[in-house]
A and B are shown apart, each in its own frame.
Chain A
Amino acid sequence: MNRDEAFALYKQMLLIRRFEERCAQLYVEGRIGGFLHLYIGQEAVGVGAMSVMRPDDYLIAYYRDHGYALARGADPRLLLAELCGKFTGISRGKGGSMHFYDVPRGNFGGDGIVGGHLPLAAGIGYGIRLRNTDQVCLCFFGDGAVNEGAFHEALNVSALWDLPVVYIIENNRYGMGTSIDRASSVKDLYQRASAYGIPRREINGMDLLAVRNAVTEAIERARTEKRPTLLEAETYRYRGHSMSDPGKYRTKEEVEEMMKSDPVLLWGKRLMEQERFTQADLDAVDKEVLARMEETVAFVESSPDPPVESMYEDVYVRSPYINMKAAEKDPAWRAAIREDRVPPTLPPPAPAAAPTAPAAAPAAANPTEAAVPATAKVGS
């Protein structure tokens, strides 16, 4: 990885961090509804893994899905619009926080059912084998998913049929409020792969480089040997399971301890120590990211709500193999189109006004601490 790449990954993690913080704020203001699961603290996993994928590879993830879409290059304006239920949202206001799909970038979205997308990942892998290409599929899920039957069925067939899928557990230690100690008979979750003879590895999910290295190796195995891998990324979420969770099942001390190994902080420190970046460089990019968030919010504010008729769209695909005369008595069939929709490419935002005072506390004196995006400390 060269110096520019290293800096670009820092910026990606920072964008996710700032995006999520803004989401939390908008949720409290009542502008985002439903469930909101923030990725804060786990950024290194998604960014690290995505940075070693090829553009034609696939990914499918669980509902804590904002980070993947951003790291894969989706426009944050389309994502925030989705969260605010706008017609300009990436899923036209029909998915919300848990369902960020970006099919042109091979992103089959966030699945709202714990473990429910693992068999689908195996299916994408099967399709790749059947078409005989060297693509791979990455599948992200939480520690809670390993106790679902779908996890076992998916891993078994992936090993049995040699499917090019990299399964990545993001072990943030809690399935909602239940710690892994109270949920899993085996504490080292990656060892579950041994039951299926699948290569496995535990990685420090707070360390971007460790994630990159492990995922690179797993992708290579999938691409060339057509074999699956199970990775367990040890990570942590600073916030509750969702915005409605005050996190009373863990101590403040535990959260603070984990925040010392904040992935953004660690990577910023590395940039300064090994790549000759300065605190001023990091501050400047933070300012840029915050300005981008302002543009993002401005876009959402000028976006329309979905028209009621759009409710009937996107249920079915219009088809010459259906008697449409009969089907069209149903509004969902009347509204069906033949094509798949593609999220729009928005023009670059107009230069935004200087960002309003960020919710961030001023930078601390210690340069190492200063690299931490300060609002990360709003957590728990």
Chain B
Amino acid sequence: MRDALNQAMREEMTRDPNVFILGEEVGAYQGAYKVTQGLLAQFGEWRVRDTPIAEEAIAGVAVGAAFIGLRPIAEMMTFNFSLLALDMIINHAAKYRYMSGGQVRCPMVMRGPSGAAAQVAAQHSQAFESIYAYVPGLVVAMPATPKDAKGMLKSAIRDDNPVIFLENEVLYNLKGEVPEEEYHIPLGLAEVKRPGRDVTIVAWSRPCITALAAATKLAEEGIDAEVVDPRTLRPLDEDVIFESVRKTGRCVVVEEGWRIAGFGAEISDRVQRECFDALDAPVIRVTSEDVPMPYAKTLEKAYLPQPEKIIDAVHRVMYR
């Protein structure tokens, strides 16, 4: 996954001199998670800019540079720190085109890991996609596989809208096939990650991998689960989800965020309205527990969506 992201940036920086990266430790340190490894040596300090620990400046410099036609990639060491840059994203990146009556565009990407890592406690283990997906003017992408990560990041860099690109630290070591040839995957395109007949599981980013693990176990007891990965939350490719639910009649939505006002609520709202006649059971959501992330390993495991929780939810929508 890490290499796929690195390749996407390297290829786009080679293709377009307007693309540059800035963030904490992206250059000399080779990236806090090594995603930007080798880029400083290849592109130099003006295009791979180490910044002070100043998230508002990182995001704001990206927004300002994007206004005059550059294509910045602002790396957040983790999205937990993006809270310090929220004003730049929500009040500036997402709003200037609108407030200017279409005069301004902000072709930037803000990317970095989001969600829980391993035992880093409450301030470093948060899933914020729902906050960003709430805001009109933003595009919110969350790849779960190396192939998606590369193809979607290339689209995000080329797209002329501000894109919030949420990676996942735990998935950085995930292995997977990546096409040799040049490709990109449009944002706003969902994918069925595992076809199935009996139940639809909608999940993105790390929970999508968890859902695939759950589906494998469900298969052992004869339940054929279909796993749908929206890949992009805004804009949401809802038709792929609806099509799946109309086929299976049952739907479980899994996310790593908190339950209240989580993005899964948006999906289940749409599914219940648009697929009402097809549903054989209410939509059930699996989320993280509604508390800050605890430190202890046992508690962390209990907090997150696990395959067992997804399996339990599938049993409930199938009345088993």
A residues in contact (CB < 8 Å) with B: 58, 60, 89-95, 99, 101-103, 108-109, 111-113, 116-131, 149-150, 153-154, 156-157, 160-161, 313-317, 319-324, 326-327, 329-330, 332-333, 337, 340-343
Q: Is the CB of B63 within 8 A of A103?
A: no
Q: How far is the CB of A367 from chain B (nearest CB, A)?
A: 44
| Inter-chain contacts of B52 with A (CB < 8 A) | 153, 156-157, 160
Q: Is the CB of B60 within 8 A of A150?
A: yes
Segment touching A, from B84-92, B199-207, B256-264, B278-286: B84-92
Complex formed: what's the CA distance from A320 to B72 in Å? Answer: 19
Complex formed: what's the CA distance from A149 to B56 in Å? Answer: 8
Q: How far is the CB of A150 from chain B (nearest CB, A)?
A: 5
Q: Is the CB of B104 within 8 A of A116?
A: no
| Inter-chain contacts of A160 with B (CB < 8 A) | 52
25 contacts between A and B (CB under 8 A): A89-B101, A95-B99, A101-B99, A108-B67, A116-B88, A116-B92, A122-B60, A123-B64, A123-B66, A123-B72, A124-B65, A124-B68, A127-B64, A127-B65, A149-B56, A153-B52, A157-B52, A315-B97, A321-B155, A321-B156, A322-B186, A323-B186, A326-B239, A341-B102, A343-B103
Q: Is the CB of A94 within 8 A of B98?
A: yes
With A122-B61, A123-B62, A157-B54 in contact, is A340–B104 under 8 Å at CB? Answer: yes
Q: How far is the CB of A9 from chain B (nearest CB, A)?
A: 27
Q: Is the CB of B235 within 8 A of A103?
A: no
Complex formed: what's the CA distance from A228 to B136 in Å? Answer: 34
Fill in one digit per residue for B78-121: 1 if any A CB lies within 8 Å of its CB, else 0.
Answer: 00000000011001100011111111110100000000000000
Fill in one digit per residue for B214-252: 1 if any A CB lies within 8 Å of its CB, else 0.
Answer: 000000000000000000000111110000000000000
With A119-B56, A321-B155 in contact, is A92–B102 under 8 Å at CB? Answer: yes
CB contacts under 8 Å to A, within B102-153, are: 102-105, 107, 136-137, 139
Instruction: Give the interface centre of B87, B107, B158 by most chain A CB atoms within 10 Å.
Output: B87
Q: Is the CB of A315 within 8 A of B137?
A: yes
Q: Is the CB of B139 within 8 A of A326?
A: no
B residues in contact (CB < 8 Å) with A: 20, 46-47, 49, 51-52, 54, 56-57, 59-70, 72, 87-88, 91-92, 96-105, 107, 136-137, 139, 155-156, 158-161, 184, 186-190, 235-239
| Inter-chain contacts of A127 with B (CB < 8 A) | 64-65, 67-70
Q: How far is the CB of A33 from chain B (nearest CB, A)?
A: 15
Q: Is the CB of B99 within 8 A of A94?
A: yes
Q: Is the CB of A340 within 8 A of B70?
A: no
Q: How far is the CB of A135 from chain B (nearest CB, A)?
A: 9
Complex formed: what's the CA distance from A317 to B239 in Å? Answer: 22
Q: Is the CB of B237 within 8 A of A326?
A: yes
Q: Is the CB of B235 within 8 A of A124?
A: no
Specify the chain A residue showing the minimal Cβ separation from B53. A153
Q: Is the CB of B56 within 8 A of A101?
A: no
Complex formed: what's the CA distance from A131 to B137 in Å? Answer: 27
Q: Is the CB of A316 within 8 A of B97?
A: yes
Q: Which listed residue (B49, B63, B161, B235) contacts A120, Cβ 8 A?
A: B63
Complex formed: what's the CA distance from A92 to B99 in Å? Answer: 9
Q: Is the CB of A101 within 8 A of B64?
A: no
Complex formed: what's the CA distance from A333 to B234 in Å? Answer: 11
With A95-B99, A156-B52 in contact, is A120–B160 under 8 Å at CB? Answer: no
Complex formed: what's the CA distance from A180 to B99 in Å? Answer: 30
Q: Which listed residue (B46, B67, B87) contacts A124, Cβ 8 A?
A: B67
| Inter-chain contacts of B92 with A (CB < 8 A) | 111, 113, 116-117, 120
With A314-B102, A326-B235 in contact, is A130–B57 under 8 Å at CB? Answer: no
Q: Is the CB of B63 within 8 A of A326?
A: no
Q: Is the CB of A99 within 8 A of B99?
A: yes
| Inter-chain contacts of B186 with A (CB < 8 A) | 320-323
Instruction: Give the interface centre of B60, B156, B187 by most chain A CB atoms within 10 Å.
Output: B60
| Inter-chain contacts of A154 with B (CB < 8 A) | 57, 60
Complex formed: what's the CA distance from A222 to B239 in Å? Answer: 53
Q: Which listed residue (A95, A128, A149, A319) contacts B100, Cβ 8 A?
A: A95
Q: Is the CB of A101 within 8 A of B101?
A: yes
Complex formed: what's the CA distance from A122 to B102 in Å? Answer: 22
With A118-B60, A123-B63, A342-B103 in contact, is A113–B87 under 8 Å at CB? Answer: yes
Complex formed: what's the CA distance from A299 to B15 in Å? Answer: 47
Q: How far is the CB of B62 from chain A (nearest CB, A)?
A: 6
Instruction: Give the interface centre of B46, B87, B96, B107 by most chain A CB atoms within 10 Å.
Output: B96
Q: Is the CB of B104 within 8 A of A108?
A: yes
Complex formed: what's the CA distance from A127 to B61 in Å? Answer: 9
Q: How far is the CB of B133 from chain A (nearest CB, A)?
A: 12
Q: Is the CB of A316 within 8 A of B137?
A: yes
Q: How far is the CB of A63 from chain B (nearest CB, A)?
A: 11
Q: Is the CB of A126 within 8 A of B101?
A: no
